[in-house]
Amino acid sequence: MSVPTDRPRPLPAELVLPTPSTVDVWWLDVDAHHAAPDGLSRLLDPEETQRASAFRRDRDRYRQAHIGLRLLIGAYLQLPPAEVTFMRLPCPLCGAAHGRPSVAANRSLHFSLSHSRDLIAYALSASPVGIDVEAPQGGDMPDVVAQFHPAEITAIGSLPPSRRAAATLQCWVRKEAYLKAIGTGIARGLGTTYAGLGERYEPTGRPPGTPQGWSIVDLEAPHGYAGAFAVSTGASLSAITAHTRTLTLPQTNSPAAGGAPGPGVVLVAGDEDATDPGKRLLVATRMNPASKAASFGGMKLE
Ligand SMILES: CC(C)(COP(=O)(O)OP(=O)(O)OC[C@H]1O[C@@H](n2cnc3c(N)ncnc32)[C@H](O)[C@@H]1OP(=O)(O)O)[C@@H](O)C(=O)NCCC(=O)NCCS
């Protein structure tokens, strides 16, 4: 199953919490060389602010990614974005608190995020979920392929040379999505898990090493990026519904923000091709910069 990004259309008036067999995927284009507006950056907690400051290169991308995450989770949980608190689940390998990130107040909403170059991907579900996105790479990545599962190495080797680079990248994002979903990351290596190349490159099969009870779904990511999510539903692949949509973080109070008055910030959700502003859904989030308190102002169709 491969999931394309939705065509422009009005979104429902509420961000409905996804069900266990539903995954909501959101794309956010970031400008990695420009700072997020102050009004938005104030949504971040001290840990996020400190982590962002520690980055030399990806500071602004990190900030924008976490602002988007807060706005999204706030909208799903009807919480002020600044009041969303995060925690790390225990690592399945060593038990330490560096497993998959989670929302502290609501353990039934699972999320995952991924950044690559100028794109952020989010996946949200009521089931454990992981997402990965990667910008197109220059070459064939033979060093990476050599670390894959034997069945993946064989499958890539049997493809025409012109398809190998893209198949390798697809295998990579499928694998990393799964390894993020279970919370180990790539700490145990890439060779024991069979994530496969996806249906674009090979027939569906389940060699030894295929995760049981998990589905890995390819995404049609924007800008030619490779993307996939993994979700633990126990359900068959065909029972999973994925919705993909695009976020925009406008400049505070800019016309793109719908001319929101006062110190407000607005999250615009809609397909990136949407040309009719009347069909954009706005999630209005009013923020008091003095107190850093933000209140979720509900959503309206402009
Ligand atoms: C987790 C990992 C796969 C992410 O890789 P990456 O190239 O940074 O890729 P992405 O941009 O796709 O993902 C980053 C996001 O993954 C999430 N993440 C971090 N650790 C994670 C984990 N253990 N499980 C799931 N998701 C994780 C975070 O949200 C992070 O975003 P943030 O840095 O903005 O908070 C990679 O960092 C990794 O494998 N680390 C090693 C983990 C490890 O050694 N664990 C110790 C075992 S004892």
What pLDDT, in 10s, does the model give residues 211-235? Answer: 999 999 999 999 999 999 999 987 6
The response to whether residue 100 sits with its C-beta less than 6 Å from ligand 1 reads: yes
Atom of ligand 1 nearest to the CA of 66: 34
Confidence class for position 9, pLDDT limits 50, 70, 90: very low
CA distance linking residue 242 with residue 131, whole number of Å: 12
CA 190 to ligand 1 centroid distance, Å: 14
Lowest mean pLDDT among 57-61, 142-146, 194-198, 260-264: 260-264
Domain boundaries, the chain: 2-135+218-301
Smallest CA-to-CA distance from 215 within 93, 125, 90, 297 is with: 125
- Among residues of the chain, what percentage have pLDDT more than 70? 77
Give the confidence band of 279 by pLDDT, cuts at 50, 70, 90: very low
Indicate the range of 47-51, 78-82, 280-284 predicted with least confidence: 280-284
Amino acid at residue number 192: T
State the fold for domain 2-135+218-301: Ribosomal Protein L22; Chain A (3.90.470)
For residue 301, pLDDT over 60 is answered with no
- Three-state SS for 218? strand
Mutate to test the pocket of ligand 1, among 114, 116, 178, 232 (most ligand atoms within 8 A of CB): 114
> Cα of 20 to ligand 1 centre, how many Å?
23
pLDDT above 60 for 266:
no
* % of the chain with per-residue pLDDT over 90: 55
Kindly give the distance from the C-alpha atom of residue 165 to the centroid of ligand 1, in angstroms, as a whole number: 23
Distance 245 CA to ligand 1 centre (A): 23
Cβ-contact 154, 135 below 8 angstroms: no
Q: Could you tell me if the CB of 89 is within 6 A of ligand 1?
A: no
Is the confidence at residue 12, as pLDDT, over 80?
Answer: no
The answer to whether the CB of 65 is under 6 A from ligand 1 is yes
Per-residue pLDDT at 277 exceeds 90: no
Q: Is 117 in the pocket of ligand 1 (CB under 6 A)?
A: no
Q: Is the pLDDT of residue 300 over 80?
A: no
Given 3-state DSSP classes, what are the helix, strand and coil percentages for the chain, each rounded to the nearest 5? 30, 25, 45
CA distance 143 to 141: 5
| pTM for this predicted structure | 0.85
- pLDDT of 33 higher than 50: yes
pLDDT tens, residue by residue, 91-126: 999 999 999 999 998 888 999 999 999 999 999 999
Atom of ligand 1 nearest to the CA of 176: 3
